Chain A
Amino acid sequence: MKILVAIKPVPNPDEKVKIRPDGSGINLDNIKMVINPFCEIAVEEALRIKEKQGGEVVILTVGPKAGEQQIRTALAMGADRAILVEVENGLDSLAVAKFMAKAVEHEKPDLVLMGKQAVDDDNNQVGQILSALLSWHQATFASKVEFVADGKKAHVTREVDGGLETIEVSLPAVVTTDLRLNEPRYASLPGIMKAKKKELKAIPGASLGVDAAPRVRVLSLAAPKERAGGRKVADVAELVAKLKNEAKVL
């Protein structure tokens, strides 16, 4: 099975972002960039499928050249080769999906795996848009992927409000990953050495004839209202008294 895995670099999600004073974006100084955690789960799933049934795992990033570093990490985890569609930062989901569609049309994978959401923009859009552009089937928020009918179809269990839901999609399809799908492996030292020699093909986005004019533009960022938290109580008795008399919730 040939699997295309789309990955996106994001600022380390365990660090609280700082907004630039002029609201034009976030301050990325001294912030480590990592593979978006959901994309990392997608890479892991692709590797497990390949280990079980053979095939090829191709990494795709649509973004600036700096993303090469996270691509190398995915290659070190075990992916076979990679494509970087070089575009400027800050494209909207529609534009990103259109660039991805070009790569998919060229590569013709059986399956596209990607994270359900990038933890920077928190949009949760690109996989679904891509499947619409390709007229492919979609299965979002996957916590389990099983192949049936000689690998022509997949049963995807999805994390939804109220529980879990399983749908059947025929391949090719776009599957977006949720947290419980797997636990991604770390890149091994030999993996890191090998990754340096793996093919990473850069394609200038401008050469693909995609209309990337922004349809959703982020005009500014502002900090949310801070909570006035931080007060402590000494014991349960004080907690109950405060909840009753001050917060009036008991």
Chain B
Amino acid sequence: MADILVVAEHQDGVFRKTTLSTITAAKALAGLSGGEVDVLVLGSGVASVADTVAACGVRKVLLGEGAAFAKYLAVTFASAVAQVVKEKGYGAVFAPASTFGKDFMPRLSGLLDAPLASDIVGLIKEGDKVLAMRPMYAGNAIATVELSGSPLLFTVRQTAFDAAAPAGAKAPVEPISVSADPGATAFVSRQETKSERPELTDARVIVSAGRGIKAQENLKMVEELADLFQAAIGASRAVVDAGWAPNDWQVGQTGKIVAPELYFALGISGAIQHLAGMKDSKVIVAINKDEEAPIFQVADYGLVADLFKAVPELIAEIKKLKSA
């Protein structure tokens, strides 16, 4: 099969790890149907991003730099990727199923009239056909889908594929000439959620708060527990809707999909939409005073208790353990 292109994700020149699991998925396709995996880095002043991905066992890195790509915009990125795909004849394009990939990849699908499988969690071969697996209905069904046409487009769920590790010699970085006209679309501003904590999608431990937290100031308790693990903090929709937590803390069907080693659900009832975002966590702990809460059905360790008594107790116990 023709070669495969991965579109690297970065935030203003800072490499994002979402790219690594995307490379793994692309390699899985290469393993099933042949072809080599290249990575495209678009941006301005992003040579260091190209350098990072060059170490991940890919054939080569295409570096498309230009003022038009200084700020990410779906219009410029989709049209640039379309140009590269047409010129070089790639048979498949992969991007992370982050808000980056989810934004420009469908636009690319429209530009190229090419089929896109969103948020894939697996690739399999049946006869001479490669099929993709992807969740539907808030993860309550896994669909097997067949794409026809060319190129094949995929966005990749980060939690479903391991991060590509540095492998072998560094791949060559090939500067390419690519241009795009943003037309009347322009970047205006960005309001970054400031945090010293790991990103939700990378964290080993996540402490998440739900409606049961009752007030924003009670998040202090959640932060204190998170500090003991260098954990990321997540939230249910209710907490974000109430304005107690920023939007990008939301874990769920349409927010962040996470799968940490340890997930604390504090005062989270466990709506279908929330479960969709965290039920692949390795160990789930739920503390909720409502013993009927659906979160308990997926929890490995459920504690029916008053949050405001149990969490301080838990913090004290863990501190004791750590100092022992």
Interface centre among A131, A138, A158, A220 (most CB of B within 10 A): A138
- Whether the Cβ atoms of A227 and B187 lie closer than 8 Å is no
Does B284 have its Cβ within 8 Å of any Cβ on chain A? Answer: yes
Which B residues are in CB contact (< 8 Å) with A217?
Answer: 145-146, 148
Nearest opposing residue in chain B for A158, CB measure: B99
- Whether the Cβ atoms of A167 and B115 lie closer than 8 Å is no
CB distance from A11 to the nearest CB of B (A): 8
What separation, in Å, do the CA atoms of A247 and B240 have in the docked complex? 30
Which residue of the partner chain, among B99, B141, B192, B299, contacts A231 with CB atoms under 8 Å?
B299
CB distance from A31 to the nearest CB of B (A): 11
Chain B residues with a Cβ under 8 A of chain A? 11, 73-75, 78, 98-100, 102-111, 113-119, 131, 134-149, 183-193, 201, 205, 237, 240-241, 246-248, 250, 253-254, 256, 261-262, 271-273, 279, 283-285, 296-305, 310, 313-314, 317-318, 321
- Whether the Cβ atoms of B99 and A141 lie closer than 8 Å is yes
- Whether the Cβ atoms of A160 and B99 lie closer than 8 Å is yes
Chain A residues with a Cβ under 8 A of chain B? 11, 13-17, 19, 26, 38, 92-94, 97, 116-117, 119-133, 137-138, 140-141, 143, 153, 155, 158-170, 178-180, 214-224, 227-233, 235-237, 239-240, 242-244, 247, 249-250
- Whether the Cβ atoms of A230 and B299 lie closer than 8 Å is yes
Summarize B's interface: helix, strand, loop or mixed.
mixed
What separation, in Å, do the CA atoms of A120 and B191 have in the docked complex? 31
CB distance from A1 to the nearest CB of B (A): 17
CB distance from A235 to the nearest CB of B (A): 7
- Whether the Cβ atoms of B283 and A159 lie closer than 8 Å is no
Which residue of the partner chain, among B106, B119, B139, B301, contacts A243 with CB atoms under 8 Å?
B301
Given A122-B136, A180-B247, A249-B261: A128 touches B106 (CB 8 Å cut-off): yes
What separation, in Å, do the CA atoms of A30 and B247 have in the docked complex? 34
What are 30 inter-chain pairs, A to B, with CB distance below 8 A? A17-B137, A26-B137, A93-B106, A93-B109, A116-B254, A119-B137, A122-B136, A123-B118, A124-B119, A128-B104, A128-B107, A129-B107, A130-B110, A140-B102, A160-B100, A160-B248, A161-B98, A161-B248, A163-B191, A163-B247, A168-B187, A179-B237, A221-B144, A222-B141, A223-B142, A224-B139, A229-B296, A230-B297, A230-B298, A230-B302
Sorted nearest first, the 8 A-B pairs with minimum C-beta distance are A132-B110, A128-B106, A170-B184, A129-B110, A215-B115, A125-B106, A166-B188, A229-B298
- Whether the Cβ atoms of B184 and A236 lie closer than 8 Å is no
- Whether the Cβ atoms of A232 and B303 lie closer than 8 Å is yes
- Whether the Cβ atoms of A229 and B300 lie closer than 8 Å is yes
- Whether the Cβ atoms of A223 and B140 lie closer than 8 Å is yes
CB distance from B129 to the nearest CB of A (A): 10
CB distance from B183 to the nearest CB of A (A): 7
Which residue of the partner chain, among B119, B302, B314, contacts A240 with CB atoms under 8 Å?
B314
- Whether the Cβ atoms of B302 and A233 lie closer than 8 Å is yes
Known A-B contacts: A167-B73, A249-B283. Give 5 more (CB < 8 A): A122-B137, A129-B110, A141-B99, A169-B185, A232-B296
Which residue of the partner chain, among B78, B284, B301, contacts A239 with CB atoms under 8 Å?
B301
CB distance from B295 to the nearest CB of A (A): 9
CB distance from A150 to the nearest CB of B (A): 14
CB distance from A229 to the nearest CB of B (A): 4
Which B residues are in CB contact (< 8 Å) with A15?
Answer: 272
Which residue of the partner chain, among B110, B119, B253, B300, contacts A133 with CB atoms under 8 Å?
B110
What separation, in Å, do the CA atoms of A242 and B314 have in the docked complex? 13
Which B residues are in CB contact (< 8 Å) with A11?
Answer: 137
Which residue of the partner chain, among B191, B279, B305, contacts A227 with CB atoms under 8 Å?
B279
